[in-house]
Amino acid sequence: MKINIDKNSGYCFGVEYAIAMAEEELNESSSLYCLGDIVHNDKEVARLAEKGLKIISREDLKNLSNCKVLIRAHGEPSETYQIALQNNIELIDASCPVVLKLQTRIKNAYENAQKHNGQIVIYGKKGHAEIIGLSAQTNQEAIIVTDETDLEKLDYSKPISFFSQTTKSTEGFYKMKALIEKNIQEKGFAENLALFDVNDSICRQVANREPQLTKFAQENDVIIFVSGKKSSNGKSLYEVCRKVNARSYFVEDETELQAEWFENCESVGICGATSTPMWLLEKVKNAIERQFCLHTQEG
């Protein structure tokens, strides 16, 4: 049985950069606060916690002073920076450049929408750290849509500027776009189609993984998708695998592997989310080698 680790899996640039900054600081001071989980992967969070990384909430931040706090790749609203300034907190800003650029785009779109009685709509996961920062650019007035039922919140008589959380599924984004266009027409505002401003703001590194994973899932008999259950990106990418390979299984780590998955299997593909560390993929591979096969070959 061959075991292939997807060479395109592992951290995206933003997550890799944030973790590198955290480790650099921890090597010098052995203690650092982080506003929220640095990555949506409990195994990596636990590893960094052993090095001294302490996860805090926004409420915790208000009660801290004279310390260092890491801002993770998801970005933060301006309020976070104001609190840090007031409390003499040194921020180590690891916000992803792609997210920061999107915050600016949404802020500009919101200011324009104010002039034309328009609305900002963002496809994303409610309560997600990135969405909190993006919505803050609109004074919390952006309409967050996760599924079709959320589209009932839109006023189709008004212009719509449509964006996406950077880690969402491209297929999901364009499905929502099509539904919005359909609603504009069916509700009698066809003239507003020309005012429907669509902004595909999904990170290209994330978007490119969908066709890459489709091909990878087709090339292997069994797919082991490794991701934290909190990862929105992980859920989306796992569905990409499952659509083309019914023998796709979602695990957080090697302890969840089951022997029956590997019956009548000649090749296993191991892949993960943009928040899944490569060391964890290797650990899963090693566990499969030890427990379920005698001969392996990494592709």
- How is residue 9 written in tokens? 């899996």
Active site residue 130: yes
**CA gap 279, 39 in Å, rounded:** 14
**CA gap 199, 215 in Å, rounded:** 27
Q: Look at the alpha carbons of 65, 68, 70, 75 in this order and tell me if their dihedral is positive or negative.
A: positive
Alpha helices in 126-222 (DSSP H): 129-136, 170-186, 204-207, 209-219
In this structure, what are the phi and psi dihedrals at residue 48, rounded to the nearest 5 degrees? -75, -30
**CA gap 228, 107 in Å, rounded:** 31
Looking at the DSSP assignment, which residues form a beta bridge with residue 92? 70
Nearest to 284 by CA among 261, 260, 252, 246: 252
Sheet holding 143-145, edge to edge: 143-145, 119-123, 160-164, 197-198
Sheet holding 222-226, edge to edge: 2-5, 267-272, 222-226, 248-251
Single-letter residue type at 275: S
Q: Which of 44, 76, 130, 252 is labelled catalytic? A: 130
Q: Report, as residue numbers or ranges, the catalytic residues.
A: 130
